[in-house]
Structure 1
Amino acid sequence: MRETCAVQKRWIELIEAQLLPNLQLASERTYDPVVVYRVPEPWQLLGAGNYAAVLTHPNYPDMVVKVYAPGRPGLEDEKEIYRRMGKHPAYSECLYAGDSYLVLRRLTGVTLYQCVLRGIPIKRQVLNDIDEALKYAVSRGLRPHDVHGKNVMQRDGRGLVVDISDFLKEDDCSMWDDLKRAYDRFYFPWLRRLPFPELLLHLVRRGYRKYRSLARTSSELHKKNM
């Protein structure tokens, strides 16, 4: 335990002294991912979401740092989500919280989006694991939100949930249920090893967003007319 704490302390010192002063990221549009302009060596960018960028250092492969862009909210909410979540094998764990960043245990695997893109088969067990993980989150007073193919992954045939930053939102979200329905209706066994062009997946995502927007509008009109 003492050795683990020492490693985390060195990691935090590295974040404060090397990463944060030299990292350049910005929030340019409210609904678009943050833009990362500069990452100091030897840090590596793993990805960027709507609120923050996630980075890792080659000397600390088991941890990541999630740095929130200036002006983007959400850090305090995400701290609270991880506090409620505690430890669960399908989720990461918050190891430390700074003023503008979180240190998280790293989850490794392949997102379901990447699986479809590369032709890597997705077993039903992966979806079942994620279902159980989401039920656990509900039992901890959370409300799973924004659970889609880029926010969940598989590793060794088991499911993991990567992004839980929106689990305090109170509005309904059907993304995960819609993904499961698509899996059952369209993910035929003969399709599972075929890589899909990224352009096709992009068009599917755009069509899905338009469908959800129309469904919300229809629901709101129905409620007004009742």
Structure 2
Amino acid sequence: MIHSGEQEPSIRLIEDTLLPDVRLESVDPFNPVVVHHTPADWRLLGAGNYAAVFEHPLLPGKVVKVYAPGRPGWREECEVYERLGTHPAYSTLYAADVQGPYSYLVLKKLEGKTLYNCLRDGTRIPRQAMRDIDKALDYARSRGLNPKDVHGKNVMLKDGRGLVVDISDFLQEGPCIMWKDFKRAYYILYRPLMPKRPVSLPDWLMNTIRFLYRRLRRKSRLDGHRS
């Protein structure tokens, strides 16, 4: 769908060595896709509810995002990147296409650590990173987009600056409650209570917070429907 001449070697590598042998599926639409097999020389970087992201040593500075069969959103994500154009807080779309059951994107690799992992590992999150993310979301709105599903696992910290990693839901309607809640917790709890050298939060505590947050949000939505 989107190719450029200089991308052809990359496309051949992807379509000859990754897509024929990769195995991933969406078992539960509300949980990350399951990657059953990653081909040799490819490395799995992570998985979301729509797709998994891979990298290869012959594609420095790039990643390949492969959508699970049957999962929507590939065309929408292409459109979002086309609207965003070039911005320092976002990735860049180099190529996109469909082969067999898989649709994929070739993207600029964003280096850094997610804010979720910063909390887990005890890495301080500076206020500048939060401001950068807010400005990036405002920029997206100025391009006719609606930032949605922005939370600690899809925004990153790199050299003290904030980046937005996942833009796949930027064409959806409605407010981004999760980012508002994350900011509220950052300014009300994190900055006043966390010491200058933040302590790491163990996985069990992070998972408990995530579970309780989802329960509270679900209850809030149900109460809103009843009123």
CA distance in 2, matches of 1:85, 1:137: 6
Query: Root-mean-square deviation (CA), in Å?
Result: 1.2
1:5 deviation in Å? 4.6
Q: Which amino acid aligns with 1:81?
A: V
- Correspondence for 2:180 among 177, 180, 195: 177
Determine the structure 2 residue equivalent to 1:163.
166
**Correspondences of 1:19-34 after superposition (within 5 Å):** 19-34=18-33
Structure 2 residue 35 is the aligned partner of structure 1 residue 36: yes
SS in 1 for 2:107: strand
Equivalent AA in structure 1 for residue 70 of structure 2: G
Deviations, residues 116-151 of structure 1 (Å, cap 9, x unaligned)? 111110001100000000000000011011100000
Aligned to 1:205: 210
Q: 192, 195, 198: which is aligned to 1:193? A: 198
Query: Does 2:97 align with 1:98?
Result: yes
What code does the residue aligned with 2:204 have? L
Identity %: 54
- Cα distance change, pair 56–113 in 1 and its aligned pair in 2 (3 A): same
115 and 169 in structure 1: CA distance in 2 versus 1, 3 angstrom threshold: same
SS at match of 2:20: helix
- In the other structure, the counterpart of 2:44 is 45
Deviation at 1:189, TM superposition (A): 3.7
- C-alpha contact 1:53 1:67 (8 A) present in aligned 2: yes
Rounded Cα–Cα distance in structure 2 between residues aligned with 1:63 and 1:15: 12
Shift of 1:220: 1.9
The DSSP-based 3-state class of the residue aligned with 1:190 is coil
Distance 2:54 2:87 in 1: 22
Do the aligned partners of 1:90 and 1:161 also contact (CA within 8 Å) in 2? yes
- The structure-2 alpha-carbon separation of the partners of 1:159 and 1:70, relative to structure 1 and needing over 3 Å to count, comes to same
Structure 2 gaps, min length 5: none
1:172 Cα offset (Å): 2.2
Question: How does 1:6-17 map onto structure 2 within 5 Å?
Answer: 6=6, 8-17=7-16
Q: Which runs of 4+ in 1 moved over 3 A?
A: none
For residues 192 and 5 of structure 1, the distance between their equivalents in structure 2, rounded to whole angstroms, comes to: 48
Q: Distance in 2 between matches of 1:132 and 1:138?
A: 10
Question: How is 1:12-161 mapped onto 2 (pairs within 5 angstroms)?
Answer: 12-99=11-98, 100-161=103-164
Structure 2 CA distance, aligned partners of 1:157 and 1:191?
A: 15
Could you tell me how far apart the structure 1 residues matched to 2:207 and 2:197 are? 18
Once residues 200 and 104 of structure 1 are traced to their aligned partners in structure 2, the CA distance between those partners, rounded to angstroms, is 33
Whether the 8 Å contact between 1:119 and 1:196 is mirrored in structure 2 is: yes
The CA deviation at 1:191 is 6.7
List gaps (5 residues or longer) in structure 1.
Answer: none
Alpha-carbon shift at residue 63 of structure 1 (Å): 0.4
Q: CA deviation at 1:13?
A: 0.4
Give the partner amino acid of 1:61: P
One-letter amino acid of the counterpart of residue 157, structure 1: G
Deviations 1:30-56 (CA, angstroms, capped at 9, x unpaired): 211110011111100000000100000
SS of aligned partner of 2:61: strand
Q: When the two structures are aligned, how many residues end up with a matched partner?
A: 218
CA distance in 1, matches of 2:183, 2:174: 20
